[in-house]
Amino acid sequence: MNLYEHLFPAGGVTQLWVLIDPDSISGDRLAEVVKASEKEGVSTILVGGSMLVSDTLDRIIQDIKELTHLPVVLFPGSSRQISRYADGILFMSLLSGRNPQYLIGEQVHSAPIIKNFDLTAISTAYLLIESGRVTSAEYISDTRPIPRDKPEIAVAHALAAELLGMSVVYLEAGSGAMFPVPPEIISAVKESISIPVIVGGGITSAEDALTASRAGARAIIVGTAVERKGCEIIGEIASAIGLNRTV
Ligand code: 1GP
């Protein structure tokens, strides 16, 4: 099974991916999060999320690899956040913005590194959706998010992503968002394209996750809620979307 098939298994069941920010996790906590993820049916560990430069990336990924066989996929904030120890990378273009640095500039810097490290790149259209307040992603990227009451604008961007040959659309409210991506946007985008839609930002409860799952998310990304609420939230979300049910 290649990485793409692992990320999006046949059958279309919503997957749960836990995002670990290497800058805000300690050693003991890391083990706790990774073990809980494995136990509750999380399929993939994402590492990254910080828009600033991290010097702990390699070490954290090596530590995770010692704790689990779950694939570790990079979610980089810039071309300086790439590690040879990961299994793959969400190779993102911030398609909702009009800042050439995040549309193509960072990608040109990172492409030779990805090739050199032999990482599997998953071509991902990153669409920022307005979420109640200015997020770090919005501020640092110097781009405007798509208005949350304009699903047709999100759909047009997602269609462009598919026509450009991208493999995944990431609907992102931004880390720690006040409101997650509205289900109306998720379902409108899901209905208009055939590539998978993944959703993250501001998902803090089982209910938020279930809403995104029912609207058509193929994977849900959760970071801040695990940092703030603890590992129990992983189990609660996994149960809500039917991941850790015993037969
Ligand atoms: C951020 O979508 C991810 O880029 C996760 O967001 O930290 O709000 O879970 P949270």
Residue 79, domain CATH: 3.20.20.390
Give a yes or no: residue 212 inside a domain.
yes
Give a yes or no: residue 168 inside a domain.
yes
Q: Is the CB of 176 under 6 A from ligand 1?
A: yes
Contact call for residues 103 and 93 (beta carbons, < 8 A): yes
Give a yes or no: residue 7 inside a domain.
no
Residue numbers of the domain that contains 22 = 13-241
Distance (Å, rounded) from C-alpha 132 to C-alpha 98?
21
Residue entry with tokens 């809980």 = 36
* pLDDT tens digits for range 64-113: 999 999 999 999 999 999 999 999 999 999 999 999 999 999 999 999 99
CB burial readout 41-58, b (16+ within 10 A) else e = bbbbbbbbbbbeebeebe
The pTM of the whole model exceeds 0.85: yes
* pLDDT tens digits for range 181-227: 999 999 999 999 999 999 999 999 999 999 999 999 999 999 999 99
Give a yes or no: residue 27 inside a domain.
yes
CB burial readout 177-213, b (16+ within 10 A) else e = bebbbbbebbbbbbebbebbbbbbbbbbbbebbbbbb
Mutate to test the pocket of ligand 1, among 138, 172, 205 (most ligand atoms within 8 A of CB): 172
Helix (H, G, I), strand (E, B) or coil at 197: strand
Length of the chain in terms of residues written = 247
Give a yes or no: residue 198 inside a domain.
yes
Distance (Å, rounded) from C-alpha 141 to C-alpha 107?
14
Give a yes or no: residue 88 inside a domain.
yes
Q: Is the CB of 201 under 6 A from ligand 1?
A: yes
* pLDDT tens digits for range 120-178: 999 999 999 999 999 999 999 999 999 999 999 999 999 999 999 999 999 999 999 99
Q: How many domains does the chain have?
A: 1
Residue 180 alpha carbon, nearest atom of ligand 1: 8
Contact call for residues 206 and 234 (beta carbons, < 8 A): no
Distance (Å, rounded) from C-alpha 235 to C-alpha 90?
25
Sign of CA dihedral 147, 149, 154, 156: negative
Q: How far is the CA of 247 from the centre of ligand 1 (A)?
A: 31
